[in-house]
Amino acid sequence: MSIVFQISDCHLSDETSYYNFERALGEVSKDTAHAAVLLTGDLVCGPKPGDYTKLSRIIDKYIKDKPIYAIAGNHDDLVLMKKELRNSRIKVVKYCRIAGREIVFLDSSQKPMNSVHPLGSGRLDRLELSLLKKVARKRKKPIVVIHHPVIRVGSDWMKAICLENDDYTFSILKRFGVKDVICGHGHDHIVTTKEEVTQHMAPSTAYGFDHKISEYNRSALIGINKLTLFNGQVTSEIIRL
Ligand SMILES: [Fe+2]
């Protein structure tokens, strides 16, 4: 059994967002046996030079000897993120292995092609889709890590700021028997299963969304996801901050 922590949607910008990010890292550092940490996008809000360097310096204070992987969200600047994290301990990679499981990291921070999708939506481009197919074909049932959910969940406004090509992406998961998706974006811990694909959505460390409310809202419900990899399965629980 292996524990992986998922820290998501940190939206680092103001003092409170940094304070809560450090609280999240404090929680992670209490568990000295965890296998890895996943940072699943929207790490910085309105990124400017130096922000990702600052993020990696903060992480270094809390996590010294564990692998850390990051993907971008719709609020991130992937070019700046890759540049500033290049010489850090945070890996921005396409795939890896954690606790005996293959992991594929997909970049959904690309803007949708169709303007019908509101700001905040994402898309997997051809390269990302072919990567998914290649990895899924060669490696046994990888865990997919992506910022936007592949299965739409939450309130209607959240479902609108979706992954533009989520249906097609889901069909690839089905074709290759991929069963596990780990995502952020929804600022809430929501586990959902559709046709044997289970998606674990993480809460945000910055602010929550109450999906029972039909309009956009922000709540104080923040946290991180504690993922357990055991016997070829993934389960998740929320740790509230
Ligand atoms: Fe977010």
Domains of the chain: 2-240 (3.60.21.10)
Decide the pairing of beta strands 2-7 and 223-230.
Answer: antiparallel
Tell me the pLDDT of the chain averaged across its residues: 95
CA 211 to ligand 1 centroid distance, Å: 14
The yes-or-no verdict on residue 116 having pLDDT over 80 is: no
Q: How far is the CA of 140 from the centre of ligand 1 (A)?
A: 30
CB atoms within 10 A of CB 126: 7
Quote the ligand 1 centre to 40 CA distance (angstroms).
9
Residues having C-beta closer than 5 Å to ion ligand 1: 9, 42
High-pLDDT (> 70) share of the chain, %? 100
CA of 182 to the centre of ligand 1 (A): 14
Q: Judge if pTM exceeds 0.95.
A: yes
Say how many Å lie between the CA of residue 138 and the centre of ligand 1. Answer: 32
- Per residue in 44-69, pLDDT (tens digit) is 999 999 999 999 999 999 999 999 99
